[in-house]
Structure 1
Amino acid sequence: MASPPITELAERAREIFRRVVEGYIESGQPVGSKTLAADGTLSLSPASIRSVLAELESLGLLAAPHTSAGRMPTDAGLRIFVDGMMRVAEPTHEERAQIEARLSESGPVEQALQKTSALLSDLSGAAGMVMVPTREQKLAQFSLVDLGQGRALAVLVGEDGGVENRVMELGGALSPSALDQASNYITSRLSGRTLADAAQAMHAELRAGKTQLDDASRDLVERGLAVWSADADERPVLIVRGAANLLDESALDDIDRVRSLLDDLENKQSVASLLESAREADATRIFIGSENRLFGLSGSSVIASPYRDREGRIVGVLGVIGPTRLNYARVVPMVDLTARSLGRSLDKLIV
């Protein structure tokens, strides 16, 4: 049965529902009628409150984990709360300053992403996740420089002027002409194309024997492509920090759920695919529990936001994962602010 819009609930039911959700998010424990009646502000007896709780449970918004316990929100109830009732708490001045300070230093991009993931974990009390930016720049030049002792330096130059290099093991001495021939061949196929596109074309030519390369130069080309392909494959697609935060006191009561979540995090490609679905979102996206198949068993929530480079292009996604009782009101604006801060800092980073 589909849950009703929160606007269709009576004012009294909405207020009790809000208090149950907020109490559960704060404590991680079901909230009972006696707790709700204790401060007297509802002006209702525990019996009247129990009647409303039963109504909310019948609507699929609350659940009672034990017959004698209070209620806790279902995933559907949390969705209604997040979409229609949540009071967002903007980051404080100190939190903003901390985010800006942690992301303002120049350095290697992966170091900055590790800092970002750790920062999200520290601020949320859950696990922080950052997808590594896709690297699809168009390339301009490739060259091989003899280093002696059977080694060469492979240098890749992008159209934006960026330079990357790797040391190649050649397995023996090669003539300068072989190095030049291989460099010229690769450069002619790279110009204006991504490495993936150029590599595909070169592999096809080499397999079909449609090149004028001698054996030594052909071997150099294949070694060069292998170096860069292996480098791309070994780049992490996702950086996760703070997984230990998921092992809080409440986790001891549901260790199977936490074990399932940690297993999910080990499968980083699947987690990255989930974050990828937030890439084109206009705002921060929230995935709650069973709404996504990946975390259906672990009952976890993900808050994710895309981050952009200085030209406004989306290059990755960052976020937080934790139990469904995440403090959404606090974490959602924190994730959004961190995404914007990381985007502004990208031009200072060494890719």
Structure 2
Amino acid sequence: MNIPPILELTDRARDVFRITVESYLDSGQPVGSRTIAKISGLNLSPASIRNVMQDLEEMGLLAAPHTSAGRMPTDVGLRLFVDGMMQALEPSAEERAAIEQRAGAAGSIEEALANTTAALSGLSACAGMVMVPKREPVLRQFSFVPLSQDKALAVLVGDDGSIENRVVDMPSGMGPSALVEAGNYLTARLNGVTLAEARSRIEREIAAERAALDSAARTLVERGIAMWSEDGEHRPVLIVRGQARLLDEAATDDLDRVRQLLDELEGKREIARLLDSAREGDATRIFIGSENKLFALSGSSVIAQPVRAMDGRVVGVVGVIGPTRLNYARVVPMVDFTATTVARLLG
């Protein structure tokens, strides 16, 4: 269904539509004509309001659940409201301070990102999400531990004490001494630098045949460095916090939808793909209900904002996910502010 331009609505229809949407977003419940008559100041009778609401329903902007005489906005109606009528509310000084305080807490970059995401979740009453490229630590040690005749465990130790393991294929006939040789060679060249810097240095040495390694050890070094670099490039850091906030009082009447949403949040690869699609925009992307295939079944909305470095490059995405009835006017600027804070974190 095509979304009608906001200018196609009469002044009366725009007022009734706006009040209906705002009341629904505030309460999470369908809105009746008597409610609008009491709170709107439109000087219209409930009968007149019902007629306008019927027209809006025929336009596909409102819907009447079978369990209620009131009406609620459709996904199409919410899109019209967000794009053409919503007045954004800047985060308060207290909200900004809460986000900045969590971002500035002591710890690693990933801990700061997790804290910031948790703060966004708490303030928005949604699940908070952030996705950034995997940050390369400064390295300290690289070693190989034999697992079988053709497998070895590559152990990478960061200067911050982090440890990561990968299983690599060993060249045939490679003995324990060659594993030690390969590990010592890598440690000597990566100590104090990032993996990308070490890879460039080692590739130059091997290409110039200056690497003091036998054939088997050279092959293992090349495999280990290539595997680790490719894995890091394609494995962004995705942090999701505050899923429990989706289980609010209004959710008790729609537990199947919430269960579906929680199941969908487990599929982090799909969430990463969705957030990645927001990198292409210049501003906040809002996916409402069925507009987004991933969360269409749960009827959820996603607000996502690219994180830009000082030079304008997109270095990540910050977002929230919640019910379609979330407070867009308040949450959209909050996501934007959090993205700016995360950009400073990534420096």
- TM-score, structure 2 length as denominator? 0.79
Q: CA deviation at 1:264?
A: 1.0
Question: Does the 8 Å CA contact 1:186/1:221 hold for their aligned counterparts?
Answer: no
How much identity, in percent, do the aligned residues show? Answer: 57
Gaps of 5+ in 1: 206-210
Q: CA 1:35 to 1:118, structure 2 compared with 1: closer, same or farther past 3 Å?
A: same
Q: Is 1:8–2:8 an aligned residue pair?
A: yes
Higher mean Cα deviation, 213-222 or 112-121? 213-222
* Aligned counterparts of 1:152 and 1:78: Cα–Cα separation in 2: 51
1:340 maps to what in 2?
340
Given the superposition, is the C-alpha separation of residues 6 and 217 from structure 1 closer, same or farther in structure 2, using an over 3 Å criterion? same
1:265 counterpart residue number: 265
One-letter amino acid of the counterpart of residue 127, structure 2: A
The answer on whether the counterparts of 1:90 and 1:330 sit within 8 Å (CA) in structure 2 is: yes
Q: 1:42 to 1:111 in 2, by over 3 A?
A: same
Deviation at 1:293, TM superposition (A): 1.0
| SS class of match (1:29) | coil
C-alpha distance in structure 2 between counterparts of 1:112 and 1:317, whole Å: 15
Matches within 5 A, 1:209-224: 214=214, 216-218=216-218, 220-221=220-221, 224=224
Following the alignment from structure 1 to structure 2, what is the Cα–Cα distance between the partners of residues 271 and 325?
Answer: 20
Matched, 1:21 2:24: no
Distance 1:2 1:151, change over 3 A: closer
Amino acid at match of 1:294: L
Separation in 1, partners of 2:63, 2:251 = 19
1:291 counterpart = 2:294: no
Name 1:274's counterpart in structure 2.
274
TM-score by length of 1: 0.78
Aligned AA for 1:302?
A: V
1:111 aligns to 2:114 (yes or no): no
Mapped partners of 1:70, 1:273: distance in 2: 37
1:239 match: secondary structure: strand
Partner of 1:37: 37
Structure-2 residue corresponding to 1:321: 321
**For the residues of structure 2 that align with 1:198 and 1:325, how far apart are their CA atoms?**
53
How many Å apart are 1:345 and its aligned residue? 2.1
Q: Does 1:76 align with 2:76?
A: yes
Match of 1:120 in 2: 120
One-letter code aligned to 2:2: A
Query: Is 2:133–2:233's contact at 8 Å kept on the other side of the alignment?
Result: no
Decide whether aligned partners of structure 1 residues 213 and 40 sit closer, same or farther in structure 2, where only a CA change above 3 A counts: closer
Cα distance in 2 for partners of 1:272, 1:286 equals 15
**Which deviates the most, 32-41 or 291-300?**
32-41
Secondary structure at the counterpart of residue 279 of structure 2: coil
Aligned pair count reads: 329
Aligned partners of 1:45, 1:152: CA distance in 2, in Å?
Answer: 75
**Which whole-Å CA distance do the structure 1 matches of 2:110 and 2:85 have between them?**
37
Counterpart-to-counterpart distance in 2, 1:297 and 1:275: 18
- For the 8 Å contact 1:166–1:227, the answer to whether it is kept is no
In the other structure, the counterpart of 2:89 is 89
